[in-house]
Each structure stands twice: as C-alpha cells, then as structure tokens.
Amino acid sequence: MPVGSNEMIAEILPAAVVAVEARSDPPDVVLFAAEQAVLGRAVAKRRREFTTARDCAHRALTVLGLPPLPIPSGPRGEPRWPMGIVGSITHCHGYRACAVARASELLALGIDAEPNEPLPAGVLGAIARPEELPQLCQLAHTTPAVHWDRLLFSAKESVYKAWFPLTRQELGFEDAVLAIDPRAGSFTARLLVPAPPAADVRPRTLSGRWLVRDGLVLTAIALLAPAVPIALAVPDE
C-alpha cells in the first residue's frame, strides 16, 4: 500500500493533500540535527510524539517528490516547511499525523486529533463562546456517542494551525465562532478578529471537516489556493 493512500485523516482532506499517520512509535526514526534541537530536554512522551510525527512528515514530503529535508519549528511552535509546501502536524495518545500539500494548491492546512472523550472539567468554559453552547447541548442530546465539546476544541485547534502560518497572528479561543454541521461532517469558523493588513491572505471564515472513529476526534482545514493570483483577492474561506 503506498504511503498516504489509506490514512483515516485523508478522508477529511482534499485529494491534493498527502497525509501520513501512525498508531505506534517506530524505534528507528532518525531526526535531522535541526529537529533534534527543537526537543532540547523534552520528556520521553514529548520526544516520542515529536519524533514519530516528524517521521510521518518526512514520509509525506517524499510522496510529494521532495528529497529528505528537516522540518524545524518556528518561534511560536509552528513547523517550518520547505519552500513551496504547506502542512500541519498533530499528535495525541495513540495517534500521530502529518498532512502536507504544495502551496500552489493549498494556502493553508490545519489538522488536529483528540481522544473522543469529554473535555476535563472547566475547559469548555474557557474555549467556547456563549453562542456555541446551545448547539453543543443539542448535539450531545441527539448524538451522545460523539463528545461535541472535544470536537469543538479540536476544530478550534485546527483553525489556529491553519490561521497562524497565514497571518503570523495569535488567535484566542474566543476569537472565532464555530458552527458544526453534524450531517455533513463539516464545520465553519467565523473569525471575529481581522488578519493583519500585511498578511497575504486574510480569511474571514475557515471551513473544515471532522471525523469520529476508533476513539478519536479528527478535524481538518484545507484552504484551497484560488485559481487566480491572490494579491488582490480576500478569500472568505
């Protein structure tokens, strides 16, 4: 089976994206020196997650035809992709994944994985806006197998991972209002803060998809590149 062709997260990403995921940590992964430097004195759990996710990233870039290249981290923790590439990384208990695409096809990518479990006590109040709560209550009533509070959290993390590399601007959990479509397996984030004027792309909404399977909540945002040059365009999503 070719790498990236049968991954669960690929189901919620467009065909232009190469995704590679892992459920365990291979023992023989070799990191580049610039990647080792990111780890510093990190604890074993962080080392395992980082190393396997970087291995997923290396393999995904190979599928795109790139030679082996390091993926260090920027000052805000963002992965620094090779020129002409966009991508995103996630890791949680029992799951690591990377998604990459050519920047000519996608402007931004954000992926996130979480356990399909309730958020710890007190977290929902910190990450949800008041107008998001009624929908979560209704969905919890109609479809209790999905932990919608966790899905909201994951979707907001995907929003941030797509937003930050585009704008270089922080985004708080209160800075976006999410609407989840349970039938379509999608969501839309309406951004309540403008991107800085200097950003090439200043999205006002970001749309994504979600999937709940095998004990995981997966969310993904893929912002397609417009067919025309973007210098004058302000895409809505």
Ligand X SMILES: CC(C)(COP(=O)(O)OP(=O)(O)OC[C@H]1O[C@@H](n2cnc3c(N)ncnc32)[C@H](O)[C@@H]1OP(=O)(O)O)[C@@H](O)C(=O)NCCC(=O)NCCS
> Which residues are at the interface with ligand X (CB under 6 A)?
50, 53, 73, 76-79, 89-92, 112, 156-157, 159-161, 164-165, 171-173, 175-176
The CB-of-51 to ligand X minimum distance in angstroms stands at 9
Nearer to ligand X, 10 or 51 (CB): 51
For the CB of residue 1, give the shortest distance to ligand X in the complex, in Å. Answer: 25
Closest CA to 86 of 68, 67, 71: 71
Across 203-234, b (16+ Cβ under 10 Å) vs e yields beebbbbbbbeeebbbbbbbbebeeeeeeeee
Cβ at position 175, least distance to ligand X in Å: 6
Please identify, using beta-carbon distances, which residue of 19 and 53 lies nearer to ligand X.
Answer: 53
What does the alpha-carbon distance between residue 123 and residue 119 come to, in Å, rounded to a whole number?
Answer: 6
Residue nearest to ligand X (CB): 77
Which positions ≥6 away from 81 have C-beta within 8 Å?
A: 71, 87, 100
CB of 98 to ligand X, least distance (A): 8
Query: Which CB, 74 or 142, lies closer to ligand X?
Result: 74
DSSP 121: T
* Shortest reach from residue 145's CB to ligand X, in Å: 22
Containing 148, the helix (H) or strand (E) segment is: helix 148-167
Handedness of CA 38, 84, 52, 111 (dihedral sign): positive
Tokens of 147: 């932990």
Which CB atom, from 10 or from 187, has the smaller least distance to ligand X? 187
The smaller minimum CB distance to ligand X, of residues 56 and 142, is found at: 56
